[in-house]
Structure 1
Amino acid sequence: MALSTHYGVNIEWLLFGVTNKSLGDEGRVFGVHNINEIEGDLLSEFRKLKAKDQEEIIDFIRLKITRY
């Protein structure tokens, strides 16, 4: 609550990164995409990897995207 008050930001945004009012047509909050539960899980697991392994995952994703 102190951070919310001190910085003048909505508590929902501070805790979750989203508010009903802050979501625009693109579903973005301050330039950050709104993510679903699966994406959140993926990001959480990705952050546990070493940098080299993260790079391999990124390369794999780019490879998959180019196939579409």
Structure 2
Amino acid sequence: MCLKISIFLTLCLVIFTLLGVIEQVFNIQILFENLKQFRLVAALLVSIILVTITFNLVDINLNTQKD
């Protein structure tokens, strides 16, 4: 379950990053009015992904210790 969530969040981050790159290269507005807002969303997604991965690793360690 945790792994599926982290994969989903990683895909979201990749999509947001690609949209940000497209916005910069072609100078068009797709999702965000300015780049600061995009950076805020990207930073939020990265932190969520890191927390999810950390919980996933802790969960794996707890499962291996039970055996």
Task: Give TM class, smaller chain.
Answer: 0.3 to 0.5
More helix by share: 2
Structure-1-length-normalised TM-score? 0.34
Larger RCO, structures 1/2 (Cα 8 Å, 6+ apart): 2
TM-score (norm 2): 0.34
